[in-house]
Amino acid sequence: MTPRPSSAPVNVPQAAPKDVCAATKSKWAHLQCEQYNASAPGDEYFGRMKLSYLGIDNTYKDGAISAGDYTTDPHLIAKLDFATDALRRWASKYPKDPQLPRAYFLGVMVLRKVYTQPEQDTAWEFMQTLVSRYATTYFGKQMKNSLAKGFTEHLMATAQICPTPLPIGVGVMPEVTPDVTPTPSPRPGHPAIVVITPPCVPPATKSASM
């Protein structure tokens, strides 16, 4: 009687992934080949605004100029948020792209000028990414040196309404003693935080009726 063939699946050894850069003639050429294959195409776009990697870099560079010394401009923040969204998606799809460290560095340069909590937090996140994931790159080394000098988050508090002055002859308004409670020391691995209080805003006055 002819034995029936076994129905158990046969494990066929899988071929090792082919090294597309194996034919290179030097270590430098091999590295260049690997970086090329890990890079995002120049015509691929990311995020809600469909930005290329060059578009992300340019948005950050232009934003650093527009921000001046610091800013809380919501229009500029919106543009930067689109670039950050695109950068995250780019990094998710091409985590070994050699252009990523530059983009993170440019992001830090502008986001640290935006005195709002989300942007300050993102700047700190990008700094940590550079010194941990890209420590051997030029931008990773630059950021490590910068962090060695310290980093402080700056937040702009909401402006308060100025107190209404008393009528002439009624008396003198008491001086308001500012809060001198020191900012607590940062926790290990966290930046220091400074909250900036802007000048008070005069109360709105009703326009005289005609």
User: 17-21, 74-78, 93-97, 143-147: which range is least confident on average?
Assistant: 17-21
- Decide if 156 contacts 117 (C-beta within 8 A): no
Of 40 and 88, the one with more pLDDT: 88
Mean pLDDT of 152-181: 64
Element holding 125 (H helix, E strand):
helix 117-133
Q: How far is CA 197 from CA 70, 91, 156, 201, in A?
A: 14, 36, 6, 12
Residue 178 has pLDDT above 50, yes or no: no
CA distance 115 to 119: 7
CA distance 149 to 161: 37
pLDDT at residue 185 in the model: 58
Which two structure tokens, joined as six digits, stand for 127?
């700094």
pTM: 0.69
Which pLDDT tens digit goes with each residue over 8-50? 555 655 655 566 676 666 654 555 565 545 567 778 999 999 9
